[in-house]
Structures are given as structure tokens and as C-alpha cells.
Amino acid sequence: MLDIKYIRDHVDVIKQAAVDKRIVCDVDRLIEVDRRRREIQVELDGLRTSVKENGQLVGLLRNPKSPAYLKAVSEGKTPADLKAEAERIQAELAEVKPKVKALEDDEGPTLAEFSTLMLTVPQPAHADVPVGKDDTENVEIRRVGEPRTFDFTPKDHVELGQELGIVDIPRGVKLGGARNYVLKGDGALLHQAVLRLAQEMMVERGFTPMVVPVLVKEEVMYGTGYFPTGRDQAYLCERDDKSLVGTAEVPLTAFYSDEILSESDLPIKLCAMSTCFRREAGAAGKDTRGLYRIHLFEKVEQVVLCRNDVAESRRFHDEILANAEDVVQKLGLPYRVVNVCTGDLGMGQVQKFDIETWMPSREAYSETHSASRFHEFQARRLKMRYRDGAKKLHYCHTLNNTVIASPRILIPLLELYQNEDGSVTIPEALRPYMNGRDRIERVR
């Protein structure tokens, strides 16, 4: 959420941000509702003050022992005069109260509409973000590593998984419907290995490991910016007004919501391994084969809360991106980093960098990680602030990044490390988590 004062002063900037991010936002209506909201507030404040003061005055004028009554008598007014004045003021109050009621009746719907419209206002992208309509217009920054050239006909991860007995998609679909799967044996162990490697690397880098709820209140989803626009992507538990999260970013970022931190507490660096749920609404017919676009997965997420400083926020953005790159490099996977264009950014993101790992079966670099910074967008929604040395309050800046997400990362791992005999070499970094073994072979 943005500061309404900023929105008022930068209407054209907000309108352009909505166009660039392809987000529906009626800025003109918001400005009009905001004007009416402030107008009502000023009128109500004035009338309420008048009612309060005059109500007190009536009481004083009817009390022979009050200082106001005694002062008026000393100035020559009679009890009859004071009674008449009290009745006059009382009559005026009777005329004012219906006006207050009418304004209060108008205030409720106006505030509700204001709040709803504010939730549609996008965060303008940083000047470094390329303008584009979707992920096809993201801009490559760098490539690391070279895609493997095979001297035999390679198999995709689905064939490998089935033949090795480590991935069972048909039974996953039988249990949970489309876009579900089962990992078993070495498939489950490999999945857990990449998660453990990623989490241990983050702990070594000073991130506090957390175990957090993945079923959260809807206000947490609104606070982190996933609602209302992303509501159709979430699994809702309507009976309890809760939602399953699509990333541990949600509970991690909201952990200090409605709190005032000390500047000395910052930066706060958190990480969590969690189950994630996504409906993949609107993805019908897209990426239906294999483990790329699924409803359930595990992820290690990193979140940073820092001071309200643009330069500091950018430094942490580079840091969390480097953390994820280090994991991919440790796994020996070729990848590229892209600067995500405006049309592929979320509502609250100032800038996002994606890591796309080479996947032979897709014949393309495909997204495996996303690193985002939000400035104070999420913190404003979450009422998450800190007090500086001068006792002044500021909203925090928030950032997050995928450290690893599995089983999507198993696609390049299985496909790039496959051998001609159908076995898969286990990357050296994962062997300590696989009982020292260096290969996955078919269990006979």
C-alpha cells in the first residue's frame, strides 16, 4: 500500500504504473473518494466538537453552582436569562445531531470504498525495470554455466523418474487430481536433500530459521499484497476465513505486523522451509507435463526486513539474489538472471530478478527463483514500523527471495545429471544428504 499523500501528489505516476503493470486501478475515482473522505472528516470533527462543547455549556448554564453560571449572574444575567440561553443552545444541538448522523451514515461507505480502492494501487516500478507486457519481455542480465551437450538421446524428468521408480505422477493424480505427483524412494530423498542444503546455507549466512503456519488469516494475505488481486490463486478455507499460503514469504514477512521495532533490531533476516500451495488458476493446458507447474511443493524462502532506505534495500536485494545464485552454483546447474519487466511484476514489487535454470526437456531457461523488493508497500499494509534514534517512526522495507523450490528444481537436476544407462549422478553438494551415494539407479 502506498501513502495517500504520495498518490495525491503523483497521480500521473500511479496511472502509468497501473498501465505498465497491467493492473486495473481507477486512480481518478480514488482521488475523488479521498476528497470526500477528508471533507466528511473535517465536517464531522467540527460538528462533534461543537456538540461536545455546547453540550457541556448547557450543563453549566443549568447548574447554579458552576463557575459559568456564577460568572453570568455576576455580569447581570438572571436565572431566567440563563435558562433561555440553555434552551436556545439545546435547540441548536437538536438541529446539529441529524447532520452528524447523516455524515456518519455517509462516512462508513466512503471509508469502505476508499480502503478497497487503496488495495488496487500498484507500487511504481524502479526506473531500472524494463517496460514490457509479460515474461517474454524480461531482460537477461547474465548467464552462468553452459547447458550440457549430450552424446546420447536424453530423457526428460518424467521418463527418468518413472524408470528409476522415484516419481509417480499417475498415482499423484489419482490421489489429488491434476498437477499432483508422488515422490518416492530416492526421489523423496533428493527432494529433501536440496531443501536441507539450501536451509543450511542460509543459516550459515546469518538467517534465523523459522517454522511458520502455512494456513493463515486472510488479513495476512492482504497485508503481504497477495489479496485481493491474487485471491484466485490461493486455496481458501472460507469456513475459517483462512488461506493456505503459496510461499513462506507470507508468514515470515507478517511476523512483526502491528509492531514497532527498534532501529537497532534491523536488519532482520529470516528463512523458512515450508509447504506451499497454488491453484494455478488460469494455467489450464499450460505446462501440464511433469513437475514444472504443480499445486503443492516445498520451498526454502528468505526474507529481509531493513531500514526505510532505498540504497540499503537495493544492497539487500543484491545479497539475497546472490544467496540463491550460490545454491544453484553449488548444484552445478547452468542458469541466467533476468530483470523482470513491468508486466510481469506483482502489484507491490519495486523490482524483481528471476533466476531461470536450464531445463533440457523445455529447451529453455525456466524460472526457478524470484528475488523481490517492495520498499514500504507490504510494511504499510502490515503496520510494521521501527523507531529510529531520534524517536521518529518509519515503515520498514521488505524483501524476499526463493532459496530453492522443489520439486521444480528436480527437473534440471535429473535431466542434466542423467547418464546414458538411465541412472542419475547425484551432485557432489547433495551427497552428504544422500548417505554419501553418488548415483541414483533403478531399484530392482
Q: Within 13 A of 40's CA, how many CA atoms are on the CB side? A: 19
From the list 218, 367, 376, 415, the catalytic residue is 367
293 is catalytic: yes
What's the CA gap between 297 and 283, in Å, rounded? 17
Question: How far is the CA of 380 from the CAs of 9, 225, 253, in angstroms?
Answer: 18, 10, 12
140, 147, 397 from 126: Cα distances, Å: 17, 32, 14
The H or E element containing residue 242 is strand 242-244
> Can you tell me the distance from the alpha carbon of 440 to that of 262, in angstroms, rounded to the nearest whole number?
50
Q: Which residue carries 481507477 as its cell?
A: 26
The single residue of 274, 370, 372, 406 carrying the catalytic annotation is 370
Start-to-end Cα distance in the chain: 57
Which amino acid makes up residue 303? V
- Tell me which amino acid residue 145 is: G
H helix or E strand, kind and range, residue 407: none
Q: Is 408 annotated as catalytic?
A: yes
Three-state SS at 348: coil
User: Is 8 an active-site residue?
Assistant: no
Query: Which one is catalytic: 293, 336, 362, 439?
Result: 293
Please identify which of the residues 218, 243, 249, 278 carries the catalytic annotation. 278
Provide the strand spans (E) within 389-437.
393-395, 397-406, 424-425
CA–CA distance, 285 with 117 (Å, rounded to integer): 33
Q: Please give the full DSSP string across 144-157, using - where no structure is assigned.
A: ES-PPPPSS-PPPH
> Exposure pattern of 177-193 as b/e (b: 16+ CB <10 Å)?
eebebbbeebbebbbbb
CA angle (359, 364, 365) in 5-degree steps = 75
Q: Give strand pairing partners of 298.
A: 275, 406
For residues 198 and 209, the answer to whether their CB atoms sit within 8 Å is no
Amino acid at 289: R
Q: Measuring CA to CA, which residue among 193, 194, 245, 197 is closest to residue 409?
A: 194
| Three-state DSSP class for residue 287 | coil
* Known active-site residue 179: no
Asked if 22 is an active-site residue, the reply is no
Cite the active site residues: 278, 293, 367, 370, 408
